[in-house]
Amino acid sequence: MAWSKPKPSAPPSILSQVLPLLVTFAILAGLAFVAYHVYLSVSKIRGNVTKKMGNKHVVFTKDGMRVGVKHVEQEEYVDATQSWVVKAWNLSGKEKEEAEQKKK
């Protein structure tokens, strides 16, 4: 009996042949589901960013980004600059020193 031919094993069942394929499809379906939801999230975020940046006069184009510049009148610009210079002058303390010297 030890030298006899081994009995042929039973052929694999259909379930054991199809199970790895089903597991592979399930994993691929899960990955596709996650990738689809990531795509939806990125599209939604991109739309919101484009809308908010559009409100601030920043537009994304194929060539890059275009920024709209707010028009400022020359007189307004000079007034704002002069007000900062006057504030800096007043905070430097030069007026106090000059007033004290005049009193003497």
Q: What is the pLDDT of residues 32-74, one digit of tens each?
A: 999 999 999 999 999 998 888 888 888 878 888 888 877 778 8
Give the whole-angstrom CA distance, residue 47 versus residue 57. 15
Taking the model in full, what pTM does it have? 0.50
Banded model confidence at residue 11, pLDDT cuts 50, 70, 90: confident
What pLDDT is attached to residue 29? Answer: 99
* pLDDT tens-digit readout, 80-101: 888 888 888 888 876 667 777 7
DSSP codes joined into one string, 62-97: TTEEEEPPPP--HHHHHHHHHHHHHHHHHHHTHHHH
